[in-house]
Every structure is written in structure tokens, then in C-alpha cells.
Homo-oligomer: A and B are copies of this chain.
């Protein structure tokens, strides 16, 4: 068993953007909007947790290479009355891509939001009837040789996704 051998690949600019969402109760979203979550700001906390997680990717995903990340950026957005979206963008100059790093950042951000609002999402039996992480996907990958194409691809993607 082996990590893919990238010894002979050139170090080029790489970028990956990932999004994912968490479904919460409308009441919880209102509390977030109002700054009323008891444990603290869930979106800011989620961003920090996501950035830290990106840097741990190769210790979490067995066959990932350790990469010298040059940028990790996490954004959150309340999409509608019951959905928060996380978007993570990761950059490096390396011999392999950073989509796993952006995926790790996104999912740990989403998990952190969950943790921050746990008490509002549980029902009287301690169960989570509606909380859900969904739609975690790679929006786009870029590498030095195809930056133009990737941007075009992204535009098309946005058009078809509405």
C-alpha cells in the first residue's frame, strides 16, 4: 500500500474550492443571526476550526500528501431559513492537488457549527430530528496550466446550478 508517488511531478500552483451545507432549525438560524448562541459565534468558530483542520489533512486522510498550504480561506453564508453554507478555498504550490484539504476544512467547519448549536437542535429525547450535513462537493479545482479553463468551467457550473 502506498501514497501515490509524486516525486517526479512538477511543483505548480494548485487551488481547490469546496462547499457544503448544514440543515438547521429555523429557530436556530434566527439565534445565529441575532448573535444569541450561548456557546459563542458559531460561524466564526467554524471558520477557525476549518482553517486548522485543513492543515491536518494528511494526518487524517491516510494517503494524502503533506502539502505546504499557502492560503486557506473559509466563508459562511446563511442560504435560507434553515441552511448554512460553508465554502473553503485552499491554495498551494505543490506536486498534487488540494481538494482533500478543502474538503477536510469544509466538513470540520460544518461539524463545528453543529457542535456550537447542539442544544437548540436536540429534541426532548436528546435526538436530532432534522440536523443534517449535505451537499459537500468540489466546486472547482485549478492548476497552473488550466486556470483559464477552470474559471470558464466554474461560470458554466454556476449557470446550470442557478
Contact = CB atoms under 8 A, between A and B. Distances in A.
A126 to B, nearest CB: 5
Contacts of A84: none
A62 to B, nearest CB: 5
Interface residues of A, number: 77
A31 B49 CA distance: 24
A63 B91 contact: no
A128 B62 CA distance: 21
Contact of A64 (B67, B75, B115, B137): B115
Given A52-B52, A62-B52, A71-B3, A125 B111 contact: no
Total copies of this chain within the assembly: 6
Contact of A7 (B41, B91, B127, B138): B91
Contacts of A63: 39-40, 45, 51, 115-116
Contact of A131 (B95, B125, B138): B138
Given A52-B52, A103-B111, A107-B107, A20 B133 contact: yes
A138 B134 contact: no
Interface in A93-145: 93-95, 97, 99-100, 103-104, 107-108, 111-112, 114-116, 118, 125-128, 131-138, 140-141, 143
13 contacts: A1-B48, A1-B51, A40-B44, A41-B44, A51-B62, A52-B59, A61-B115, A65-B69, A70-B95, A99-B128, A127-B140, A128-B138, A133-B136
